[in-house]
Chains A and B, each alone.
Chain A
Amino acid sequence: MRSPLRTVAAGSIAAVALLAAGAVFGLRETPPPAPAPVAAQAPADRLAESISRAQARLRELPRDHETWAALGLAYVERARVTADPSLYPKAEGALRRSLKVRAADNPVALVGLGALANARHEFAAARTFATDALRGNPYNADAYGVLADAHTQLGDAPAATAAIQRMLDLRPGLAAYARASYDLEQHGRLTEATGLMRRALDAAVDPADVAFCRNQLGDLAWFAGDLEGAATEYAAGIAADPSYQPLLRGRARVAAASGRIDAAIADAATVATRTPTPDTLMEYAELLRLGGRAPEAERQLKLADAAHKIFVANGGSDDLTGAQLALTRGDAASAVRLARSEWRRRPFADVADVLGRALHAAGRDAEALPYARRAAGLGPRNASYAYHLATVSLAVGDDAGARAALRRVRELNPYFSPTDGPTAARALSALEAQR
């Protein structure tokens, strides 16, 4: 039988593993700055409550397939909120157990497995699970949510939109609004996307959900180059749930863009300490580099590598992160190989972007150009993609293309990166001076 205590212990395995890695490699001699003061009482964590209620019930009733499925889904949700991949095997165990008790007519377990597959970036499998679940219960809004996420990541935008609309028609609410907002954002309809995310915020109750919505609103403001609006949303989110890490990442972005590198580094350090995932560690490393602390940045990159290995060890597959890590190591050949592998699985804007960068790093700019263009086409509101397109364009001698892309950067969000932003501005000035 599972005990709540053991759950808590297992839940922090990833963090422990990383801390241990840090101890072994001697990478953590600099304690992160103290987090912002929070109230003594934490807000209620209803997800944790429902997990412990399910565990208690299953101790009595190991044949309750519905509760096993619900527990598995709750683990997946918790893994999302806490960015703790060690919950994936627990989720899978609960969901498989549910199917073992009731193999047929068990759509909730299939939805859970689909959500888990999405979390592990196995999007084709997720699509299959969701489709199977819907065969058993065509009214299951959660299944449409899983299906929409899978379609989105697999690059089938029309199918994703259709699944989201179905979800909205079946059960409007936070989960559907959030996906609809993302879908609109993908289509460049930022004003409507913001409106729907506000609606999601209205529907949010749990602090983690409020934080999620505030973070998305902050990101939308950030996308539009609205630093002040972004800062306001991130601050409101942090007030609702100080433990939600992406908000600190957002605040760090704003600080870095405003020239407050030390504040940005402090927030990034807090995030990287609490949720040491590859991308938080890479962000931390980038800010450390920006702050002239290259040796510390190198240590964080080693940790990022370790975190990626943990994600993979827990059944996740994410060659995109692998490619990014290879890029930071200067291993262009591996970056190209990994990014290609991800692209075969998931022809998505960010994958095209990384593949383009990898090819560029390998000196294969002619091959890089179509991918850079693809990324900019798939993500027309993304200043980073436009910047990378400019980089490749310049390398192949297409000054006009580079100039157009850099103008796009300026128009979208000149603050998109504390390192690349100023470079982009200078490059555009130089290019425009040529006329």
Chain B
Amino acid sequence: MTTQPHRRRRRVVPALAATGIVLAGALAGLGPQVSSASSHREAPLIASDPAADNTDLYAFVSPERPGYVNLIANWIPFEEPDGGPNFYPFATDAAYNINVDSDGDAKADAVFRWTFKNVDRRGGSTFLYNNGPVTSLDDKNLLFKQTYTLSSSFNGGPFQTRISDAPVAPSRIGAASMPDYQKLRDQATVQLKGGWKLFAGQADDPFFLDLRVFDLLYGGDLSETGTDTLAGYNVNSLAIQVPFKDVALRGDAKRNPVIGVWTTTDRPKVRVTGQTELGPRGDRVQVSRLGNPLVNEVVVPANLKDAFNSISPDKDAGIPAVVKRVTDPELPKLIESIYGVPAPATPRNDLVEIFLTGITTKAGGPIKADLNSQLNNMDVDAKRFRPSEMLRLNLNVPVTAQPNRLGVLAKDLQGFPNGRRLTDDAVDIAVQAVEGAAQTGKLVDALAAGDKVDANDNTFGDVFPYVALPNQGAVNAGKGTGTAKSGTNASPAAAVGDSGPALSPVSAQASSGTALSTGILVAVIGVGSLVTILATWWLRRRRTAPAFARAEDTIPL
């Protein structure tokens, strides 16, 4: 008995030896965790995320359909046209939202939500998106396409599906592949019962600017601007047209004409810690947010962009870490160091206050006008009002026959920052914002001409969804290929009158003892800067009207 272990062992070894194999590790091992490079699994860190890449938001009253408002949001900048294999899908694992706050509490009262599905007939054998000419959205040659579901929620109620399996206009992958793209655009423009119009798909990027205007912050030379950096590139657009009553407080746009709009994208919350695998049902994480133009590019300090994109507007007023950024903003100091223009005196509570609320006399700000704050809605409970960064629009401002690219600054009250039309020149306003000095009224001469890009490269359509067709051809090889049918924006420049602005700054003094004391978000800087711009602009117009008249004369609106 005691010898048995030895016997056993002796029998094992010959058994192995008989196979002629030594029981030892192979030299590298082919298991995924065996060699160092594969066990040290390097996962993507900066992967493309089309859901997080929102670029611009527009909100304007329909010029051709009275009583309806358009909300247009864009994602994924710098889409190369005609790439063949270049196809820019919407994310299928995220929700895209356009949010509307009508009562001023900085929470959405109406949410329009798009979710997307892939219809992929490629069978894993090719990465090409079509197999011959595509003449309709149902064409068998279109191997890959997307559809969407639009649902909506009002006043915090559950989401209700308004349409399912609606078609997405595909990426325009060349004249040979898509000989009549207008037809595809038309097929992807749908009207629902009740009057809503919807569009989702690729379009020319309507934003026009020379991105180099921002380069001054890095020591760039503004004399080299004047080229539309986004000309020739496409974006993915979501557009919806709804009657005023569906977004106005209590459905009454006469009494409550002001809405605030912002876009978000979100994904379901995922947990790997704790007891449950997934968070509470319906719990979602916001991955991106956008309201006013250029907030992310120019306004929010780099270190706070992530925070800004992750919070909802009702949190804007409650982040103490950024208070200093708001009351003592960084950008004017940069300008001071570069151009020697003294930064305005701090704290900047006056400007901050105004822009968080919209232009109104009800928050004690320097602009004595009531334009686009929810505080001006008659049925608003002022006590529940919450300052926040969003694009605010007064639906009752009449449609301007000849829109001015400078919007409110040029007395065209229908334009930015009262909402935003496709033709509004957001950049030239923001350029002045970076030197923002309402208190001094001094402008930086080097910035006076802005980015010298005053209009988009493609004309816009005069019917929904307005955005131009996607560009074709190499980005720098010629423009205008994406023009939508029957553009109306080629009319002569609007005459700029000599009369004073409808709104005028009354005081640059900070009004102390206001309701908005502490905690104001980052984004406020942008908002504040815009107000600064407004004020500065008027001051400047008074003094140097000819220079500005010349600039405005060139506006092809």
In the complex, per-residue mask of B61-100: 1 if CB is within 8 Å of any chain A CB, else 0: 0000000000000000010100111100101111000000
Identity of the chain A residue whose Cβ is nearest the Cβ of B125 in the assembled complex: A239
A61, A179, A223, A235 — most chain B CB neighbours (10 Å): A61
Q: Are B27 and A399 within 8 A (Cβ)?
A: no
Interfacial residues of chain A within 385-426, with CB under 8 A of chain B in the complex: 385, 387-388, 390-391, 394, 397, 399, 413, 416-420, 422-423, 426
Q: How many residues of A contact B (CB 8 A)?
A: 134
Give the interface size bracket for B toward A: 35 or more
By beta carbon, the residue of chain B nearest A253 is B30
The closest CB in chain A to the CB of B27 belongs to: A328
Assembly CA distance A354 to B29 (angstroms): 11
User: Are the C-beta atoms of B287 and A172 separated by less than 8 Å?
Assistant: yes
Q: How far is the CB of B234 from chain A (nearest CB, A)?
A: 13
Contact B19 A426 (CB under 8 A): yes
Residues of B within 8 A of A246 (CB): 38
A431→B8 CA distance, assembly (Å)? 9
With A279-B28, A433-B15 known as contacts, the answer to whether A170 contacts B306 (CB < 8 A) is: yes
Contact of A350 among B36, B80, B212 (CB under 8 A): B36
Q: Are the C-beta atoms of B218 and A61 separated by less than 8 Å?
A: yes
Tell me the B212-229 residues at the A interface (CB within 8 Å).
212, 215, 218-220, 224
CB of A4 to closest CB in B, whole Å? 15
A64 engages B37 (CB within 8 Å):
no
Q: Which of B16-49 contact A (CB under 8 A)?
A: 16, 19, 21, 23-49
Query: Does A178 belong to the interface (CB within 8 Å)?
Result: yes
- B36 near A423 with CB under 8 A, answer no
A384 contact from B33, B93, B224, B277, Cβ within 8 A: B33
Q: When the two chains form their complex, are residues B42 and A118 in contact, meaning their CB atoms are under 8 A apart?
A: yes
Residue-wise interface mask of A (16-45) relative to B, using a CB-CB cutoff of 8 A (1 in contact, 0 not)? 000000000000000000000001011110
> Which of A66, A283, A361 is packed against the most chain B CB atoms within 10 Å?
A283
Q: Which of B45, B218, B287 has the most CB of A within 10 A?
A: B45
A129 on interface, CB distance cutoff 8 Å:
no
CA distance A175 to B43 in the complex (A): 7
Q: Are A162 and B273 in contact (CB under 8 A)?
A: yes
Give the docked Cα–Cα distance between A164 and B21 (Å).
44
Q: Which residues of B contact A175 (CB under 8 A)?
A: 43-47
Question: Which residues of chain B in 408-436 are interfacial with respect to chain A, using CB atoms and an 8 Å cutoff?
Answer: none
A285 within 8 Å of B by Cβ? yes
User: A212 near B307 (CB under 8 angstroms)?
Assistant: no
Residues of B within 8 A of A74 (CB): 46
List A contacts of B48 (CB < 8 A): 46, 205-206, 209
Q: Are A205 and B272 in contact (CB under 8 A)?
A: no
Assuming A171-B52, A423-B21, is B303 touching A107 (CB within 8 A)? yes
With A74-B46, A283-B35: A121-B218 Cβ-Cβ less than 8 Å: no
B316 to chain A, nearest CB (A): 14
Known: A178-B44, A205-B50. A44 touches B83 (CB 8 A): yes
Contacts of B50 in A (CB 8 A): 205
Q: A residues within 8 A CB of B31?
A: 382-384, 413, 416-417
Partner of A324, one of B35, B42, B92, B273: B35
Check A324/B28 contact, CB under 8 A, given A173-B49, A236-B124, A239-B125.
yes
* Contact between A73 and B45, CB atoms less than 8 A apart: yes
Identify which of A64, A182, A289, A361 contacts B43 (C-beta below 8 A): A182
A183 close to B (CB within 8 Å) = yes
Residue B312, interface by CB 8 Å: no
CA distance A209 to B212 in the complex (A): 31
Asked if B9 CB lies within 8 Å of chain A CBs, one says yes
User: Separation in Å of the A283 CB from the closest CB of chain B?
Assistant: 5
Among candidates B37, B43, B126, B270, residue contacting A279 with C-beta atoms closer than 8 Å: B37
Contact A430 B12 (CB under 8 A): yes
Confirm or deny: A11 has a beta carbon within 8 angstroms of a beta carbon on chain B.
no
Interface centre among A206, A328, A390, A430 (most CB of B within 10 A): A430
Chain A residues with CB below 8 A from B542, complex form: none
* Chain A residues with a Cβ under 8 A of chain B: 39, 41-44, 46, 49, 53, 60-61, 63-66, 73-74, 76-77, 80, 83, 101, 105, 107-108, 115, 118-119, 121, 136-142, 145-146, 149, 153, 161-162, 164-165, 168-180, 182-184, 192, 196, 199, 202-209, 212, 216, 219, 222-223, 235-236, 239-241, 246, 249, 252-253, 256, 277-279, 282-283, 285-286, 289, 301, 318, 320-321, 324, 327-328, 348-350, 353-354, 357, 360-361, 379, 382-385, 387-388, 390-391, 394, 397, 399, 413, 416-420, 422-423, 426-427, 430-431, 433-434
* Pairs across A and B, CB under 8 Å, 19 listed: A44-B85, A53-B78, A61-B215, A66-B302, A80-B42, A142-B45, A174-B47, A175-B47, A203-B47, A203-B94, A207-B127, A209-B48, A350-B35, A350-B36, A360-B24, A384-B25, A390-B23, A423-B21, A430-B12
On B, residues with C-beta under 8 Å from A are 8-9, 11-12, 15-16, 19, 21, 23-52, 78, 80, 83-86, 89, 91-94, 124-128, 212, 215, 218-220, 224, 267-273, 277, 285, 287, 302-304, 306-307, 310
